[in-house]
Amino acid sequence: MLESLTAIAVLGTARQGDAALPSGGEVGAFCAALSTDSAEGRLLSAAGVLATAALAGARPAAATGVVEAEAVAPQRTRGVQAAAQLRRVLASGYWPLLADWSRTTQQHGCHAPEEMLPALLTALRARLHEPAVASVLAVLGPRGRWLAGQNPSWALLLADFDAVVAGWEVATGVERSRLFAILRRLDAARARDALESVLPAEDAEMRAALVAALRVGLTDADEPLLEATLDDGSKVVRREAAELLARLPTSRRGVRMAERARDLVQVTQRRGLLRTTRTTVSITLPESSKELTRDGIEDKKLDDLGNRAWMLAQLVAAAPLSTWQTEAELDPVAWLAACRNDEWYVALRLGWTIAAARQANAEWAAALLEDLLAEAPGTALGTYSDWLPTLVTALPPETREKLLRKPLAAAADGLTRAPLWDALLACEHAWSADFSRRVLTALAGYVAALASSWDARLRPECAAALAVRADLPTAAEVVGGMTAAGPYASATQRWVDELAGLVQLRREYA
Amino acid sequence: MAHTWSRERVLALAPDATSASAGSTLGVAGKWSLLGRSTDALWGEIKGSGSKPYQTRIDLSEPAFKCSCPSRKFPCKHGLGLLLVYALDEQTLTPGTAPGWVSEWLEERQARAEKKAAKAEAPAPVGPRDEAAAVRRAAAREAKVAAGLDELTLWMHDLVRQGLGAAQALPSSTWQSMAARLIDAQAPGLARRVRDLGSLAFSGAGWQQRVLTGLGRLTLLVEAYRRLDALPPELAADVRAEIGWTRATEEVLAEAGVQDTWAVVGQRVTQEEQLRVQRTWLFGQETGRAALVLHFAAGTQPLDITLQVGTTFGGAVAFFPGAFPMRGLVKDTSAAPQPLTRLTASPHFRAALDGFVAALARQPWLETWPLAVEDVYIEALLSNSASAGCWARDGEKRRVPVQLEPDVAWQLRALAGDGRVTLCGEWNGTALTPFSVLTAQRLYALLATEQARNLVRVA
């Protein structure tokens, strides 16, 4: 009845004329009683009566296709505050903070509260391609895993290899390389096989992205494919392959580089007076050749280094560091001492720095860092600023703290040197109380005297990095007293407040 | 007030998001140079941009804030920060006697409250001239409203004559200007309905029927007003309230009210023209009655916070007169609220909706019906248009659509976890809009936190 009234109303009574009013029963009697002199009035009144009756009579429909399910176990959570804390952690957008929260929650044998599961799953899904996700997945708990299964997007978090491969095969662009990173995490060998079959058909950009994704779970078993990729038609692809082969010291490329390095850097040791050994090193610069280009050594200049000097550096960077140990019975410190006076020492040291960073060699990294810091703490760090963070990452925690203590104390105006700051942020371990105090006190001094309006040090991620790594009691104490001063104090103070808030949050859920 | 302060409750008092974030940065004890508390007051001193530190005082009984900073916001960020410090750890405030500037303020407040109470008990005598003026004003208003209703009827008839099909093409100003004219005619309730109709025209498939039913019910309301004298007094009171006459709260509070254990199950704040309206639903645990308490706040005024979702209190609720009383006022809030652990609910939707039929028979202009149904299973049916169609299925295997934003629908499913829950919400004839859900003895309410609405555990 209401439908027919609607049909008339839509076209208008001017065209349709009077509506047929409901006539039967109480409703009809009521509509008749509401007699008004206009067709519109009658139509509207009848519509109102029917609408009210419909509202009263509306009942839910019987369900069809009912599937009975069993309740999933509720989560064990760390109290009433857990949801609010997780909300603040997610709101900060800082992945290390989420990883820290997840670790602490798991240590207490608990999981994420139910009402925060959708937000948590969405955040994890966005970062699915990063290897660190695996450690956070455990905090989902049984209900989180059940919920992930209900949504195809989240289900990828817990998918097995075959499910992801099916999605990967039809994906395009960034999603494709990200899914491949996930595949590598799940089963590196099968992922490589899948890549081999697909590689010839892809375009250059995609090939480069997929080869770069082989970095996840890189092992010597990937060497044959990478060696073959050195002959790829596209330069970007060759560069990616060379970059990855540089991390595999036992690869054929590594062996080739070792040979070349031995040819270029000749060591002679002479027995001198009083049983001392005099070591002389003679360094020749390489010539460009087709084999070198194939192996990814570029014939270019880099900053102050000329073509051949930079080629030497690249060569040394690509050679496995064990080469130097076998060539002469010298440890890294001795090598550096022996080569220091050579005119190409700078190129050599740059090459060793890159090699130590790539091959994560703690011994070489420590020797190089000490050498760099001893030379001129400020300027030397600037030259190697790109490689410093990875160099620091190669060191064990105690060595990092020991080596960085000196430049931290020496820099008269606190942390003005950006490379030192980057090196500090590269210390991804739980800082000791002493180290935390030194860094934060230097930061307090820096913040109190800041003269520029925007400082790369004061990015939001840096506040989070500090908050996650610093020792909590020390941080609470020092950050509590930190105040910004100077002409740009208000913007800086906001950063300090952010840092204080994050430290506070960590204390709450610790 | 006996409820404990949590960080969310404090930040919920903030008038806007910037105040909330500014307040949370000040919620660190280290920033305050002086912190103290007594049994029902807090105070603190904090350095600001002026030369002298700002002095902030909080009267915990309401709470009420006073700060010497020049901010116009209420409560200012210093008040929020001080309350946050207290919420986090009350030990950071040293207990003691209040200093002069705090006790003076508390005494002033006490004096003002006493004066107000005295004034309420002995209302100013109304002289004969005032009475005559009041009668004239009332008559003028009735005339204005009657004129406005005539205009509304003509406008509605025009719409139907030309056809609703053209309604969607009309600019929104058509609806807005009719609503504005109704406001001028002192019929704000009708103005709101006209505005809602305007947005209904763009509500998707089937809008024509929805607009027609809205117009139809509006017509009946107008008719009812024209026959006001012939109506029974309670229904007449309802019709006047629907048109937009406000009712004096003192008269309502003078009644005895309904005594029960009332559970606060839902709260929603909406923005109307110049006002924020807070709707709080109370479910009586023994009588099974529902009550809707309205609070209003203009501009940056704070909304009333005496009713917190997730609490129950024993007390009386006085209802506004009407054919089916729904709107009420809490008579006294002296009884300490308890956390809510169980809720008496209807066994299935049919039982809950039978009450709606009875209510509509007495007051036909009710728009929504609050209900609580237990043993509900939350389903997600993938319909062809919606990506997350959320439905609720009761013990009798009948299902209703649930109206929720997708993010919140996922939260609801996560909380239900394929098990049974008690769902509380409003039914509008086609769908259920939830305001809280009870699962495993925990109540989660839909609250606005930091600009988004989320299910938050409240008990």
- Give the tens place of pLDDT for each residue, A18-72: 767 776 677 777 777 776 777 788 888 888 888 888 888 888 888 777 777 788 8
A66's tokens = 């009912």
Give the residue from A9, A4, A41 showing the smallest Cα distance to A22.
A4
CB contact under 8 A, B417 and A143: yes
pLDDT digits (tens, 9 = 90+) for A201-210: 888 888 898 8
pLDDT tens for residues B29-76?
A: 778 888 888 888 889 998 877 778 888 998 887 778 888 888 877 788
Give the three-state DSSP class for B374: strand
Q: Which residues in chain A (451-510) have CB-CB distances under 8 A to chain B?
A: 480-481, 497, 500-501, 504
pLDDT, position A415: 63
Query: B342-390 pLDDT, tens per residue?
Result: 888 999 999 999 989 989 989 988 988 999 999 999 888 765 444 347 8
Q: Tell me if B418 and A62 make a contact (CB, 8 A cut-off).
A: no
Contact A150 B457 (CB under 8 A): no
Q: Can you give the pLDDT at residue B308?
A: 83
State the pLDDT at residue A508. 87
Question: Do B456 and A58 lie within an 8 Å CB cutoff?
Answer: no
As a whole number, the mean pLDDT across chain A is 83
In the 8-state DSSP scheme, what is residue A284? -
Percent of chain A with pLDDT over 70: 93
Q: What is the pLDDT of residue A452?
A: 66
Residue A132's contacts (CB-CB under 8 Å, 6 or more residues apart) are: A95, A99
Taking contacts as CB-CB distances below 8 angstroms, the residues of chain B near A114 are 411, 414-415, 417
ipTM above 0.85, yes or no: no
**What are the beta bridge partners of residue B267?**
B280
Say what the pLDDT of residue B425 is.
Answer: 93
Angle at B125 between CA B122 and CA B130, to 5 degrees: 145
Mean pLDDT of chain B: 84
Tell me whether residues A51 and B24 touch, CB distance under 8 A. no
CB contact under 8 A, A44 and B219: yes
pLDDT tens digits, B42-55:
899 988 777 788 88
pLDDT at position B1 is 37
Tokens of A387: 């490689």
pLDDT at A380: 52
Tokens 């662009």 -> residue:
A173
Partners of A10 on chain B (C-beta within 8 Å) are 163-165, 208
In A, minimum Cα distance to B400 occurs at A60
Give residues 332 to 391 of B whose Cβ lies within 8 Å of A: 349-350, 353, 356-357, 360-361, 364, 377, 380
- Is B131's pLDDT higher than 50? yes
> What pLDDT is recorded for position B386?
42
Q: Is the dihedral angle over the CA atoms B87, B90, B95, B99 positive or is it negative?
A: negative
Q: What are phi and psi of B310, to 5 degrees?
A: 100, 10
Residues pairing with A283 in the sheet: A265
Question: Which residues neighbour A465 within 8 Å (Cβ) at sequence distance 6 or greater?
Answer: A94, A96, A425
The three-class DSSP label of residue A382 is helix
B8 to A143: CB separation less than 8 angstroms, yes or no: no
**Which residue carries 């490589």 as its tokens?**
A192
Percentage of chain B modeled with pLDDT above 90: 12
**B360 closest CB neighbour out of A55, A84, A143:** A55
Which chain B residues are Cβ-neighbours of A50 within 8 angstroms?
Answer: 213, 216
Contact B163, A10 (CB under 8 A): yes
Q: Are B161 and A40 a contacting pair at CB < 8 A?
A: yes
Q: Say if CB B157 and CB A38 are below 8 A apart.
A: yes
Residues of chain B with C-beta less than 8 angstroms from the C-beta of A143? 414, 417
Of A15, A69, A84, the CB nearest to B163: A15
Q: Which residues of B touch A55 (CB under 8 A)?
A: 356, 360, 429
> Which of A185, A183, A126, A186 minimizes the C-alpha distance to A154?
A126
Question: Residues A366-382: what's their mean pLDDT?
Answer: 68
Query: Tens digits of per-residue pLDDT, A434-450?
Result: 999 988 888 888 887 77
Q: Which 3 state secondary structure label does DSSP give A67?
A: coil
Q: Write the secondary structure of B285-346 as one string of H (helix), E (strand) and C (coil).
A: CCCCCEEEEEEEEECCCCCCCCCCCCEEEEEEEEECCCCCCCEEEECCCCCCCEECCCCCCE
Nearest to B195 by CA among B210, B180, B212: B180
CA distances from B42 to B11, B31, B60, B113 (A): 17, 16, 7, 19
Gap from A485 CA to chain B (nearest CA, Å) = 13
pLDDT band at B453 (very low <50, low <70, confident <90, very high): low
H and E: helices and strands count for chain B:
12, 18
Report the pLDDT value the prediction gives residue B426, as an integer from 0 to 100. Answer: 93
Does B418 sit within 8 Å of A11, measured CB to CB?
no
Q: What's the pLDDT score for residue B283?
A: 93
Quick one: closest CA in A to B387, which residue? A151
Angle at B240 between CA B239 and CA B243, to 5 degrees: 85
Give pLDDT, residue B334. Answer: 64
Asked if residue A256 has pLDDT above 60, the reply is yes
Nearest Cβ partner for A63 among B24, B212, B393: B393
CB nearest to B417's CB, from A51, A72, A91: A72
Which residue of B6, B28, B208 is in closest CB contact with A10?
Answer: B208
Answer whether residue B5 shows pLDDT above 80: no
Supply the pLDDT for residue B388.
46
Q: Do A504 and B28 touch (CB under 8 A)?
A: yes
Q: What is the 3-state secondary structure (H, E, C) of B280-302?
A: EEEEECCCCCEEEEEEEEECCCC
A228 closest CA partner among A209, A253, A248, A249: A253
- How does residue B427 score in pLDDT terms, banded at 50, 70 and 90? very high
Nearest to A316 by CA among A326, A324, A327: A324
In angstroms, rounded to a whole number, what is the distance separating the alpha carbons of residues A509 and A104? 8
Reduce the DSSP state of residue A450 to 3 states and report it.
coil
Q: Which residues in chain B have Cβ-Cβ distances shorter than 8 Å to A61?
A: 398-399
- Which of A36, A67, A114 is most worth mutating to test chain B (most B CB atoms within 10 A of its CB)? A114
If contacts are CB pairs under 8 Å, which of residues 3-62 in chain B contact chain A? Answer: 6-8, 24-25, 28, 30
In this prediction, residue B450 carries a pLDDT of 47
CA distance B345 to chain A (A): 17
- Tell me: pLDDT of B88 over 90: no
Angle between helices B207-226 and A39-57 (to 10 degrees): 110
Average pLDDT over residues B430-440: 88
Tell me which of B418, B436, B439, B444 to substitute to probe the interface with A (most A C-beta atoms closer than 10 Å): B418
Instruction: Tell the residue number behind the tokens 């969310």, with chain if given.
Output: B8
Coil, strand or helix: which one is B432? Answer: strand
Does B410 sit within 8 Å of A40, measured CB to CB?
A: no
What is residue B22's three-state secondary structure?
Answer: helix
Per-residue pLDDT band for A384 (boundaries 50, 70, 90) equals: low
Give the mean pLDDT of A371-378.
65
